[in-house]
Structure 1
Amino acid sequence: MTTLYFVTKKNLEVSIMGHHYLHQLLAAHTIAVFGASEEPQSIGSLVLSNLIKAQFKGKILPINAKCEKTQELTCYPTLEAALQHSGLHVELAVITSPADTVPSIIEQCGAHGVKGAIILSGGFSDTLQGKRLEQNFMEAAHHYNMHIIGPNCLGVIRPSRGLNVTYSRNQARAGNLALVSQSSAVCTAILDWAEPRNLGFSNVITLGDATDVDFGDVLDYLALDPLTDSILLYIEGIHHVRGFMSGLRAASRMKPVVVLKAGRYEDGARAATSHTGALVGRDDAFDAALDRAGVVRVNTITQLFAAAEVLASGMRLQQNRLAIVSNGGGPGVMATDRAVELGIRLAPIENSLMTALNKVLPKQWSHNNPIDMLGDATPERYEAVLKLCLANEQVDGVLAMLTPQAMTDPVGVAEALVRLKANTKKPILACWMGSALVKAGREVLFNAGIPHFPAPESAIEAFSYLTTYRANQKMLLQMPSSIESSEYGEPDIIGARLIIESVLAEGRKVLSTTESRAILAAFHIPRLPTILARSAPEALVVAESIGFPVAMKISSPDIIHKSDVHGVRLNISSAQAVRSVYQDLMDSVKKQRPEARLEGVTIEKMHSSKTARELMIGVARDPVFGPVISFGTGGTAVEIHRDHAVALPPLNDYIIRKTIGRTRIARLLGEFRHMPAIKCEGLIEVLLRVSEMVSELPEIMEMDINPLLADENGVMAVDARFVVGYPSGAGRKYSHMAIHPYPIDLVRKLQLADGTDIVIRPIRPEDAEMEQEFVRNLSMESRYMRFMQALRELTPEMLVRFTQIDYDREMAFIALARQNGKDVEAGVARYAINPDKISCEFALVLADDWQGRGLGGLLMRSLMESARNKGCTMIMGEVLADNGNMIRLMTRLGFEKSRVEEGVVTVTKRLTDDAF
């Protein structure tokens, strides 16, 4: 039976698809250079010169009405004249002419079918006139479906094509590193730094003002670029966070990504009005985003290439236990100091390894890690020791260090490392200290692809990149839902939203104490009951009702931190004290803050625990990454302690434990001295509930739960404060978050016409094995029709792309049936949103035994509904003309045949409000 199938040209899920649109621009056969000039120092002249020097593998058409010839090439007055004379089709335009000429040039290019332009010209974002010009050329680009790199950028280099359309003095070598930079100046510095080090590039792309093509687009392209093994990013700021995070996560699933970001200590961070806001800065949020994206961050250009080198080598870690082997004690100690600073564990030398080392080392060796083999260490001694370390189960990687002493053979030791590398999968790093005496040894290491470094600190940092990459790749696999299961049931999201809406309707932003407690209650966060008293007699009645001792706190929408105005009294244990404290609180606060509106005093039962730790959970709204959740030490001195860790929602158990573990107070949560360990499950539960809160309520701008008391019995929110506001943006669900949650709301339990129960749900990373088995079990014909080649099973890269998806811009629904006590995949449908953001392309394949039972229609309806909810107005695909089953299904679903070409039928459907 012929399978239902679909293959697209652009679908990002398929590794054998047609190229990304940027590849089609950067692999252009004909380039038009607007502003090409005879003036040696002009940008147009430098671009043209670079193209010629790079030996561009295509045709160059210089465009300039003021000259007839430049650099031995005919110069044309207009694009139309160039096309008529040459008979060529231009794929890429490079524009170096003044800003006021750019809109008309883009109009010309679009009218003649040019699909992309790189605008090196500047002068757009600085003035109102420049912004109007930018708006004009972007309107023309959108009209003609053109893509723009720039403006105000250095340009692009793709050495394998001989493409260098920059005004840089550098000609990049061909290699496997891709460099993407927001700064032209930094890009030229990196290129200059890389040249004497023989570092090569697959692509060098500068973004400039990024009016169209941004990080997300470039990362999508590089993720599937076969010439790119690892990606380097220089970032100054993020314009489109969701696109950035989507592209970054997609790329890092496929290959290592290393990020260098400027502005770690930005002075322009917003003024904070809460404890959390005072603690969480923009760089904290950026780090949290990179953690979730599976990438590695560095702080210098040297570290950028070191990280790229060690990650691109393919070396990976199981844990972070390092053995340091050296021919001198001092270098080993220096390496150890840096390892301790970075949290790298020195591998223990257990008894069997100690015995083995004693047999190959002099008696005076260090008998510890780092392993000092003494200054007369020969290549044979190095090889024997390193071989033993690499074979030991307690060692995850080795660092071989060498100083050029009298009896040292740098080349011989390097050759020993090369032999060892061939027989192990564990990381081997080298540190050859010195210069002239070790130069030949470094060349051996370089030629063998062994990462090597001139100093102990840089070698240890390189090993730390492996540990960071391992940890962040695990974070990348986490796909939390917005709502996690809880023994307390579903949160009352509607009730919480109604409270917030009523506050906003009154023109307020800060919730009262009782309103804040109500929000906590809606999300099942343990809290102390609080009652507002508006007079001293009323306070007495409340205190008597809930029982002594009580805590009394001033209630005012204008006072952010009650303790700052001495508005808190604790352990009040008598009726007489209640009345006097009430009046004292009112008088004292009125005197300090006469302008503040005082609602009264809240009264709550004292929470007594001799073993409680004071913690804080907060939420701050980062201007780029949206809500950021903070955890750390609580109390009145949180800004002094500054002990906190941050994470981007949504959270799950794994992410929460990692976040808690990064704080100093984490060491005090376990058992120590007379203090029992806290009930960690209760703390995790609260953080999960906070994650739900900020995911489902975009109106929450800031929140503090401080203190959150945690002991062996659980946790209790003693005080909470919320700041709310109207969310900005398109208003689509979860648009306020940088990371789209797993869409648990799209899980459906359905039944086929024959009574078979199935579950249709979005795919998850842990479905990889099931997806692989599904493809293996397809008939040969089905696999060929789905992938258009004799594919036996999915490659690792394809499996990653199939199962680790970005739910914001793509979707894959799998249909599951229960067979022999386990879930079996019966079919899968997927779409990817096109760059125009309003259309998408779909794919559908069913297992051979599940065809003709109505499953294809159910999957497609789920797919179309999801695409429509994401803002798509058109869904399209291409079907083989002889695939009658698929064509009949598409006809039943209302698709139209729009084109038949080379045995392929294009089917399209408008996603209207009509029911599917």
Structure 2
Amino acid sequence: MPAQPMPGYFFSPQHIILVGASERAHSLGERILSALLGSAYQGKITPVNLRHKTVAGLQAHSALSKISEPADLVLAVIPPAGYDALFRACRKQGLHHVIAVQDWETRSDDEWRAAAAAVKKHHGADLNISICNSAGIQLPAQGLNAGALPDFPAGHTALLTGADAVSSEISLMLRQMQQGVSRHISLQYALTPTSSADWLNRFGHNRHTRVAVVHYNPLENPRKLFSAIRSFTRHTPLILYCTNAVDEEERAILEALAEHADFQPVFCNSSLEAALHAALSDLKPATRAAILSDTPSGWLDAPAHACRIQLRRPSEHTIPRHGYIGSHPSPALFRSLAAQELQHSETEALLAVIAPKAEDDERAAAHILKRLAQQSDTPLLISSRQAEGLLHFRRPEQALQALYFRNTTAARHQRLQQSAAPKSGRLKNIQPAAVDKARDAQDWQALADALGLPEYRANPAYPAARLVFRRHPHYGAVLAAYSQGRSIAVLPPFTTLDQSRLAEFLDAGRLKTALNRLLHGLNFLVKTERLNQDILFHLDSNGLSSDFKPAAARSAPRQPAAAKHLQNAAEFIRSRNAAAAGFLLNTGEAVGLIGKNGADGLPQAETVLAPYPEGYPQEIALRGGGSVHVRPFEPEDAEAKQNFIRNLSPEARYTRFLTRTNELPPPTLARFSRLDYSCEGAFIAENAEGRIVAVSRFSRLSRDECEFGITLDESVRGSGLAAEMMHLIIELAAAQGYQSMSAEILKSNTAMLKLAEKTGFTLIAGTQDKDLCQAKLGLSATPEGRKHKFQQ
């Protein structure tokens, strides 16, 4: 699969126009220009200044219209009052990319409003605008610094933040680890129309980036953001840094999203530092660690337990005793004992704790252990004030946290390789009329029966666990479970994987059938938009029960809940005046969330995970007689799809997957089965026996292009089904915003080549493999309203 192309205007600009360049000391225009001129940037810089013909020895122009040469990027450091005129001039001159850098903490609410109005007026297909904080952008490897912060050292971490202070904080962490930055941008989240999701899509795959840190933006559309994160983490690990206030429910939701999108959420700066250690190092997973320390360390048992690490404390006669090797061990003795432990069969990792002491002594011990760590296959983690490096930590708790994050990542990857079990054939066929009747009459037992939920019992005493199903003001429908001080969340559309996760969390394997029915009923409420109340489920000695909280009982607190969420988000402004905070709560997406009509005016938040396409199943008549039922692929279809592939002829499998295989490897099957219907899709056709006879799918290549694949059973070839399956994915891909669809097709696969050509694809010879053809279709030109052979 080809890598996503990098936008040249940001990643390798050859000509930058700096609007607002200045020589005036300490002005933003002077600071940004000095940063650019002081960096190793080799491209051309053209200043725009109304009063001076030269700035810093460079020829300056009074207006964009005076510049004859084309430019990759317009960098604006002017006051917001000038944005409207600037954006208008950019559009007139055919300059398509603007990054506006400003110290927003010093700007008044009128200037915020002026910026918001100009952005809303001019941002679009012909002019892309990003609004940045004064930290701006940096590409250290290219020597580009267009911001007010000092040059970051070049390295392997991409940073996308929403505050200058966060950019500076992370840079200092990386310096302490002797690491650097591959690319950096600090967006003003409350103003920028080009969101962090948009920038993640632009980042794409880059061989210099080993991990990305994204400062979480609670103002951003969550479906779009987490879809972009999921696409990004297929090639690069990502840490989501949450600095806004997060309650127990939201934390559980973010951890549930991590299971879908494969990222590591962290909620404080010490956790971020530990997560960076884990992601950038070659640290191996380890649940058991030995400890050697020149200070008593029994207190570490509690943080180790919290990190799910089992500490082993070596003990021999006098030294070491329970991991304590005495207060003044020589560096040579420390190394000798550490070398012994690294060879121990039960040592998965070794934590060496060096207590604060005379600087030279502490540095000598840290240095000799660092050299030992380089020679050992078993991880040696060193805690010392002299810590410098990826496996050196300033506090021992941080080393334990790094192990925890490494273990968490490994466990998550293992879970992501699991496919959902097939759905039970005994699920209730829910009748909408029965649901509406019971709900309108507030007959809660009848409503539970109609939805297939556990029996209704109001306020049971002393439940061992409870589940809450409600519509979160930001993430949409969510089911959160609470038990013994722990919590998890699952998100619709619910699958059998969610059922298994809940059963494991509740330690109630006997409840799998009841949980399966429960999730089936909740999926119905979400799909048909009938969720207008909280539903509580309690687990006690009598099993699960349901309780309902009518909408009238909870309408009053709805607005404070939404307002609280936005007030938390206001931290990203970090303004010195109250006016800017008021701006956030009365502008843009905030207005849409809070509304001006009270609680009843709040919009219904969409589910954070995209639902399956609507209007299915449908029946398609086949040429020559017979029909099939077509519907979107769901995770529970994994086993059926595997059987479908096994039953194909060897030649059919080769033409589809371009490799000799009898079935999909389990990790590939799991990845193909966990679809994000925001940016990919698949359809299956089933015959009268319910067996899959055709699959069509497309997946993301870049933010503008997707690739497709179609596979048919021998029994339906020549029936016209392939064309119908093709048009289904074309229409869905176009609806998702893709500009083109492509595929590599074997030249020997004449049937697929004919289908592609008949559908409108352009065919060209493959450039890297003479046996392949490249098929490509522009989706913007695809006909709308095509008539399918659907039978209602």
Alpha-carbon separation, structure 1, partners of 2:627 and 2:179: 57
Is 2:251 the counterpart of 1:386? no
Give the match for residue 5 of structure 2.
Answer: 19
Identify the match of residue 248 of structure 1 among 218, 229, 234: 229
Is 2:101 the counterpart of 1:162? no
Alpha-carbon separation, structure 2, partners of 1:682 and 1:771: 27
Give identity over the alignment, percent.
18
Is 2:384 the counterpart of 1:399? no
C-alpha contact (below 8 Å) 1:700/1:723 kept by paired residues: no
C-alpha contact (below 8 Å) 1:816/1:827 kept by paired residues: no
Q: 1:887 to 1:65 in 2, by over 3 A?
A: farther
Give the match for residue 97 of structure 1.
Answer: 78
Give the SS at the match of 1:858. helix
Give the match for residue 65 of structure 1.
Answer: 50
Give the match for residue 677 of structure 2.
Answer: 807
Is 2:54 the counterpart of 1:114? no
Is 2:402 the counterpart of 1:466? no
- Give the drift of 1:81: 1.9
Give the match for residue 913 of structure 1.
Answer: 785
Give the SS at the match of 1:467. helix
- Give the drift of 1:245: 1.4
Alpha-carbon separation, structure 1, partners of 2:341 and 2:265: 33
- Give the drift of 1:832: 4.7
Alpha-carbon separation, structure 2, partners of 1:66 and 1:111: 22
Identify the match of residue 306 of structure 2 among 341, 362, 376: 341
Give the match for residue 586 of structure 2.
Answer: none
Give the match for residue 432 of structure 1.
Answer: 383
Alpha-carbon separation, structure 2, partners of 1:404 and 1:623: 48
Which residue identity lines up with residue 404 of structure 2 in the other structure? Answer: S
C-alpha contact (below 8 Å) 1:625/1:737 kept by paired residues: yes
Q: 1:495 to 1:19 in 2, by over 3 A?
A: farther
Is 2:123 the counterpart of 1:141? yes
Identify the match of residue 524 of structure 1 among 452, 458, 464: 452
C-alpha contact (below 8 Å) 1:38/1:70 kept by paired residues: yes
- Give the drift of 1:100: 2.6
Q: 1:762 to 1:339 in 2, by over 3 A?
A: same
Q: 1:492 to 1:826 in 2, by over 3 A?
A: closer
Alpha-carbon separation, structure 2, partners of 1:649 and 1:760: 18
Q: 1:372 to 1:684 in 2, by over 3 A?
A: farther
Alpha-carbon separation, structure 2, partners of 1:860 and 1:198: 51
Tell me the TM-score normalised to structure 2 length: 0.75
Alpha-carbon separation, structure 1, partners of 2:537 and 2:420: 25
Give the match for residue 153 of structure 2.
Answer: 173
Identify the match of residue 294 of structure 1 among 243, 256, 262: 262
C-alpha contact (below 8 Å) 2:417/2:670 kept by paired residues: no
C-alpha contact (below 8 Å) 1:816/1:825 kept by paired residues: yes
Give the match for residue 708 of structure 2.
Answer: 843
- Give the drift of 1:175: 0.6
Alpha-carbon separation, structure 1, partners of 2:410 and 2:754: 47
Give the match for residue 322 of structure 1.
Answer: 288
Alpha-carbon separation, structure 2, partners of 1:95 and 1:755: 65
Identify the match of residue 455 of structure 1 among 395, 402, 409: 395
Give the match for residue 715 of structure 1.
Answer: 544
Give the match for residue 490 of structure 1.
Answer: 429
Is 2:131 the counterpart of 1:191? no
Give the match for residue 491 of structure 2.
Answer: 648
Alpha-carbon separation, structure 2, partners of 1:366 and 1:694: 62
C-alpha contact (below 8 Å) 1:325/1:386 kept by paired residues: no
Alpha-carbon separation, structure 2, partners of 1:692 and 1:856: 31
Alpha-carbon separation, structure 1, partners of 2:645 and 2:318: 55
Give the match for residue 577 of structure 1.
Answer: none
Give the SS at the match of 2:534. strand
C-alpha contact (below 8 Å) 2:373/2:380 kept by paired residues: no
Q: 1:39 to 1:27 in 2, by over 3 A?
A: same
Which residue identity lines up with residue 715 of structure 1 in the other structure? Answer: L
C-alpha contact (below 8 Å) 2:706/2:738 kept by paired residues: no
Residues 495-515 of structure 1 deviation map (CA, whole Å, 9 limit, x = unaligned) = 425665xx4xxxxxxx72x1x
Identify the match of residue 830 of structure 1 among 689, 692, 698: 698
Q: 1:493 to 1:872 in 2, by over 3 A?
A: farther
C-alpha contact (below 8 Å) 2:132/2:185 kept by paired residues: no
C-alpha contact (below 8 Å) 1:63/1:78 kept by paired residues: yes
Q: 1:794 to 1:315 in 2, by over 3 A?
A: farther
- Give the drift of 1:763: 7.8
Instruction: Tell me which moved more, 486-495 or 203-212.
Output: 486-495
C-alpha contact (below 8 Å) 2:707/2:742 kept by paired residues: yes
Residues 362-391 of structure 1 deviation map (CA, whole Å, 9 limit, x = unaligned) = 444678xx65566574534422321223xx
Which residue identity lines up with residue 399 of structure 1 in the other structure? Answer: L
Q: 1:814 to 1:225 in 2, by over 3 A?
A: farther
Give the SS at the match of 2:156. strand
Give the match for residue 858 of structure 1.
Answer: 724
Give the match for residue 182 of structure 2.
Answer: 202
- Give the drift of 1:306: 2.5
Alpha-carbon separation, structure 2, partners of 1:474 and 1:703: 33
Give the SS at the match of 1:110. helix
Alpha-carbon separation, structure 2, partners of 1:158 and 1:866: 36
- Give the drift of 1:180: 1.1
Q: 1:689 to 1:904 in 2, by over 3 A?
A: closer
The aligned length equals: 717
C-alpha contact (below 8 Å) 2:53/2:61 kept by paired residues: yes
Give the match for residue 78 of structure 1.
Answer: 63
Which ranges in structure 2 are unaligned for 5 or more consecutive residues? 559-591, 594-603, 768-773
- Give the drift of 1:521: 1.4
Q: 1:682 to 1:379 in 2, by over 3 A?
A: same
Give the match for residue 303 of structure 1.
Answer: 271
Is 2:376 the counterpart of 1:420? yes
Q: 1:163 to 1:896 in 2, by over 3 A?
A: same
Q: 1:771 to 1:160 in 2, by over 3 A?
A: farther
- Give the drift of 1:738: 0.7
Give the SS at the match of 1:386. helix
Identify the match of residue 695 of structure 1 among 520, 526, 532: 526
Residues 820-860 of structure 1 deviation map (CA, whole Å, 9 limit, x = unaligned) = xxx9998754155986xxx8755346699999775642331
C-alpha contact (below 8 Å) 1:645/1:660 kept by paired residues: no
Q: 1:282 to 1:747 in 2, by over 3 A?
A: same
Alpha-carbon separation, structure 1, partners of 2:34 and 2:750: 55
Q: 1:485 to 1:833 in 2, by over 3 A?
A: farther
- Give the drift of 1:242: 0.7
- Give the drift of 1:702: 3.5
Give the match for residue 476 of structure 2.
Answer: 626
- Give the drift of 1:205: 1.2
Give the SS at the match of 1:150. strand
Residues 469-495 of structure 1 deviation map (CA, whole Å, 9 limit, x = unaligned) = 2344456567879x9546243333454
- Give the drift of 1:681: 2.8
Structure 2 matches for 1:629-778, cutoff 5 A?
629-632=479-482, 644-656=487-499, 658=501, 666=506, 679-681=510-512, 684-685=515-516, 687-689=518-520, 691-705=522-536, 707-711=538-542, 714-717=543-546, 719-723=547-551, 736-741=606-611, 762=633
Alpha-carbon separation, structure 2, partners of 1:151 and 1:811: 34
Alpha-carbon separation, structure 2, partners of 1:116 and 1:825: 47
Alpha-carbon separation, structure 1, partners of 2:25 and 2:131: 23
Structure 2 matches for 1:252-271, cutoff 5 A?
252-264=233-245
Higher relative contact order (CA 8 A, sep 6+): 1
- Give the drift of 1:284: 4.7
Which residue identity lines up with residue 527 of structure 1 in the other structure? Answer: E
Alpha-carbon separation, structure 2, partners of 1:691 and 1:235: 29
- Give the drift of 1:157: 0.9
Which ranges in structure 1 are unaligned for 5 or more consecutive residues? 1-13, 267-279, 350-356, 436-441, 504-510, 531-561, 564-606, 634-640, 671-677, 788-792
Alpha-carbon separation, structure 2, partners of 1:479 and 1:210: 41
